[in-house]
Amino acid sequence: MRAGLLLLPAVSLLLVGCAILDDTPPKRFPSEIVSSYVGGPLTDLEMRWSTPLEISGSEKGQKATWQFDGYNYGGCRVTVHTDAAGVIRNATWTAGCGPKGTETVASTSAAE
């Protein structure tokens, strides 16, 4: 019984170690992900990425910004603007948020 109890923490430590060492980048760049949310609610993107680093709003809409520093995305900032209903109408991102050579780009929904 004691051997089993000692084995459990050892296995847990191995699994945690593997998770820490797994620095495999996500399959999609932040620029690709945010582009797929243009035209959708800001809350859906927040559910995907969590609370933005910066968020501000007015009666016209909101502005939310996320920063990504992992997986060689150092300095990658993604900003979205919504309309008054909370629907993302525009997304911009800095170099490093997409494939190498990607400059600051904007994606605007067709529903404006």
Q: Determine the pLDDT at residue 112.
A: 47
Residue 44 is predicted with a pLDDT of 96
pLDDT of residue 75: 78
Q: How far apart are CA 84 and CA 37, in angstroms?
A: 16
What gap in Å lies between CA 5 and CA 61, rounded to an integer? 55
Whether the pLDDT of residue 4 is over 80: the answer is no
pLDDT at 17 > cutoff 60 = no
Handedness of CA 84, 89, 90, 96 (dihedral sign): positive
Q: Report pLDDT digits (tens) over 74-92.
A: 778 999 999 999 999 999 8
The domain limits of the chain are 27-108
CB 65 within 8 A of CB 81: no
Distance CA 7, CA 26 (A): 32
Give pLDDT tens digits for 29-81. 899 999 999 999 999 999 999 889 999 998 899 999 999 887 777 778 999 99
